[in-house]
Amino acid sequence: MLIIRDLRKHYGSQLALDGVSLEIRRGEFFGLLGPNGAGKSTLMSLVAGLRQPDAGSLALDGVAVTPADPATRAALGLVPQSIALFEDLSAEQNLRVFGELHGLRGALLRERIDEALAAVQLADRRRDQVKKFSGGMQRRLNLVASLLHRPKLLLCDEPTVGVDPQSRNAIFDFLEARNREGPTVIYSTHYMEEATRLCSRIGIIDHGKIHALGTLDELLTRLPFADEMTFPATPATAAFAARVAAHGELATADGGHRFHPHAGFRTSAFYALAEECQLPARLFVAGRPSLEALFLHLTGRTLRE
Amino acid sequence: MRIILTLVRKDIATFLRNRPAVVITFLVPVALIYIFGFVFGLNARDSGPAGIRLGVVNASDSPAAQQLVDALKAEKTFRVVTADPTVTPGRPLTEADARRLIHDRKFNFALVIPSDFIPARGVGLRLRILSDPRNEIETQTVNGLLQKTIFSHVPQLLGQALQAGARRYLGDVRTDQFNSEIAAAVTGAFGGDREKTRRSLEAGGFGALPGESAAPAAPPAPDLFSRLVQIETVQVAGRDVKSPAATRVVGGWAMMFLLFAVSGGSAAFFDEKNAGLFQRLLSAPVRRSQLLWSRFIYGILLGLVQLTTLFAAGRLLYGIDVFGHFGNLVVVCTAAAAACSAFGMLIAAFAPNAQAANGLATFLVLTMSATGGAWFPISLMPEFMQHVAKFTLVYWSMEGFSQVLWAGSSLGELLPTVGILLAIAAGVMAAAVWRFNRGAVFD
């Protein structure tokens, strides 16, 4: 559906995209996972036709994406990272504006607005000013405002930033339901949990390059280890962390250590080392490696850096 | 105390990091003071108004009339126009010419020296001032300066009138004899050249030798001279205006409020940009140019509604005759609103952010209002500033309002002014679009 070839984009001397190539299939829920500044938003804006690439090409259903082409834009829906709503207008007025800009009129527009407001549980607040909404409500409206015209390709640029868990789940459910109805979704995020839950295929992006591409299982097979041990990062575990780091990859984030053993370093050896450091076994949690581990393995840094 | 100092340091650092705030706080006042200095002539050695165009019709063959014309030409306040500038070669102005030229805004004031400037019978002078008092301050200033100039020369002019009367009644021989005897008496008592004194008396100088007096004559008693000098004031335009004082000022006020309203819209432009709304709008089938033109049209509509509201308020509160010229007023309001809306777009195009847009707008609105004549008449400014004023949309908008409300001009007469306003709107908007296409507003 969407074919991206060797896309490059500079901002002055800063290279934002460095030869990105992707193929997004029809009906896919594609995740673009990377930390802030990785190039996700730039890629989204190029796909949306908001910016011109310095080099490379984009084609949607075989037609080159150009900013001036109304047909391209009619096929796209962009959910911007910020809450891009007219906050002095009501929810209904906002949807009417965006619907009319996409050529919807009359009964069809009213029907789509009703559907959209009901889908994000805002039907009873339709006449309230958007600025009186909570952050989660604004995010939900921000989302449906891009779907009124039923785009073939929905671009979601970190649509859950600053959203409470309840609203986040509502957004996930809504997006999954829409995706099942047909539209292809490209979803950029720096939350591995979101990519893991939502995306059928994931591209890992950093410093303007796609480092890995595939389903979750395909990606995780690229890790040289199949296990992951997590334990708290405290002064008591500092000496142990220093010793165990010699036997695998150790990442520290959010007050915890995440350890991925090199091939051949057995779990029994791990616990033996812990016992030497007088650390109880209950401190450690064994599990399957995550996308965070893959990102660390591929880029040498964590998603939150 | 340490906490207070820390907080003060924080405020200073925050302020210094906010470049638009620094510019508004320090540079804008200095720049405005400099501009006001020009406006009030403070930058020149001689303060006070200069170069106000004054038509002078001299229908008298009296040498005294020519002396009065020369005296007016010597006044720096006036730029005396004695020939019709609309015909080539210029012929001396007639009163009909002066009335027409006042109506055509070539000048707002004219002094008519009639053929019976010095009446055949009696002692005194007759003068007529034609005026278009569309600006109260200007009218009072010009009338005052004109009367001052006339009265400063009244002794001389009256002397000539007396000499002429004496020759009529006494004959040339007896008048010459009278002058010679008076000259002999004066020089006998006070010294001096008898022949020169006699010539001075013949010229109406009451014995004072031309060029001998270091200081101008003491101001004459106004009561006496107002009886001797009959000045008839004729209002050529605006006679039917129902509420002259309010009609004179309403245009300036309206323009300033309109500019502030429209330039406020340029800051809102950045709010939409920062909210990511441009991204969403431009990802829809919307072109950049459509975003810009929609803003421009919105500015025109806002301006039109605001101006209409202001003029309606002027009608209700002060009785300004708005509805008598409503069609023409809407035409001028639309052109003025278009120019102002384009101005707001230009600010949005060149300012890097909302704060800078506000600062730039404040600076330009105040400057244009001052130089364009919204606060005081441009004829009282130095000539250089009078030329600068004609590059401001405030000047041409006020000109349009004045033409409609004061002079009751027809649509045809309004077309040049409306055309200039629309040309300003087109030029400014073109510059704004050019800048938008090269700037980072939509990134």
Q: How far apart are CA B426 and CA B434, in angstroms?
A: 12
Chain A residue numbers touching B287 (CB-CB < 8 A) = 68
Check if the beta carbon of residue B299 is closer than 8 Å to that of residue B341: yes
**Predicted pLDDT of residue B18:** 76
Question: What's chain A's average pLDDT?
Answer: 88
**Predicted pLDDT of residue B210:** 42
- Band (pLDDT 50/70/90 cuts) for residue B14 is confident
pLDDT higher than 80, residue B439: no
DSSP state of B325: G
Select from A48, A70, A86 the Cβ nearest to the Cβ of B285: A70
Q: What are phi and psi of A6, to 5 degrees?
A: 45, 50
**Predicted pLDDT of residue A305:** 56
**Predicted pLDDT of residue B339:** 94
Q: How far apart are CA B107 and CA B139, in angstroms?
A: 12
Chain A residue numbers touching B281 (CB-CB < 8 A) = 101
Averaged pLDDT for residues A288-298? 78
Does residue B443 sit at the A interface (CB-CB below 8 Å)? yes
Chain B residue numbers touching A49 (CB-CB < 8 A) = 282-283
The number of residues in chain B equals: 443
Higher pLDDT pick, B434 / B170: B434
**Predicted pLDDT of residue A3:** 93
Residues in CB range of B148: below 8 A, 6 or more apart: none
| CA of A27 vs chain B CAs: smallest distance (Å) | 21
Averaged pLDDT for residues B361-382? 80
Axis-axis angle for helices B326-350, B393-405 (nearest 10)? 170
Range scoring the smallest mean pLDDT among A80-94, B169-183, B324-338? B169-183
Question: Which residue does chain B place closest to A45, by CA atoms?
Answer: B279
Digit-coded pLDDT (tens) for A12-24:
888 999 999 999 9
Residue with tokens 């409306």: B418
Could you tell me the two tokens for B182?
């008076």
- DSSP string for B140-153: HHHHHHHHHHHHHT
Question: Which residue does chain B place closest to A75, by CA atoms?
Answer: B284
pLDDT higher than 70, residue B214: no
CB neighbour class for B142 (10 Å; exposed up to 12, middle 13-18, buried from 19): buried
Could you tell me the two tokens for A178?
């829409």
Question: What's chain B's average pLDDT?
Answer: 81
Share of chain A above pLDDT 70, in %: 97
DSSP state of A232: E
Check CB contact under 8 Å for A101 and B275.
no
Select from A49, A74, A84 the Cβ nearest to the Cβ of B276: A84
Range scoring the smallest mean pLDDT among A199-208, B106-115, B236-245? B236-245
DSSP state of A279: -
**Predicted pLDDT of residue B424:** 95
For residue B283, the surrounding DSSP H or E stretch is helix B277-283
pLDDT higher than 70, residue A171: yes
**Predicted pLDDT of residue A128:** 94
Instruction: Kindly report the pTM of this predicted structure.
Output: 0.74
Averaged pLDDT for residues B102-108? 85
Share of chain B above pLDDT 90, in %: 14
Digit-coded pLDDT (tens) for A228-286:
888 999 999 999 999 999 998 888 877 889 888 887 888 888 888 999 999 998 889 88
**Predicted pLDDT of residue B336:** 94
Could you tell me the two tokens for B230?
């009959």
Select from B275, B281, B442 the Cβ nearest to the Cβ of A82: B275
**Predicted pLDDT of residue A22:** 92
Q: Where are the domains of chain A?
A: 2-216, 228-288
Averaged pLDDT for residues B356-361? 83
| Residue whose C-alpha is closest to residue B138's, from B31, B249, B46, B38 | B249
Which CA distances in Å does B311 have to B87, B174, B240, B246? 38, 68, 18, 10
**Predicted pLDDT of residue B238:** 77
- Band (pLDDT 50/70/90 cuts) for residue B301 is very high
Averaged pLDDT for residues A169-184? 88
- Band (pLDDT 50/70/90 cuts) for residue B7 is confident
**Predicted pLDDT of residue B120:** 67
> Among positive and negative, which fits the CA dihedral B102, B106, B111, B115?
negative
Digit-coded pLDDT (tens) for A119-132:
888 999 999 999 99
| CA of A168 vs chain B CAs: smallest distance (Å) | 20
**Predicted pLDDT of residue B37:** 74
Check if the beta carbon of residue B112 is closer than 8 Å to that of residue B128: yes
CATH architecture of A2-216: 3-Layer(aba) Sandwich (3.40)
Digit-coded pLDDT (tens) for B234-276:
888 877 777 777 787 788 888 888 888 877 777 788 888 888 8
Check CB contact under 8 Å for B285 and A101.
yes
**Predicted pLDDT of residue A239:** 92
Does residue B276 sit at the A interface (CB-CB below 8 Å)? yes
pLDDT higher than 50, residue B209: no
Higher pLDDT pick, B398 / B27: B398
DSSP state of A230: E
Chain-centroid distance of CA A109 in Å reads 30
**Predicted pLDDT of residue B270:** 84
pLDDT higher than 80, residue B211: no
Chain A residue numbers touching B276 (CB-CB < 8 A) = 80-84
pLDDT higher than 80, residue A191: yes
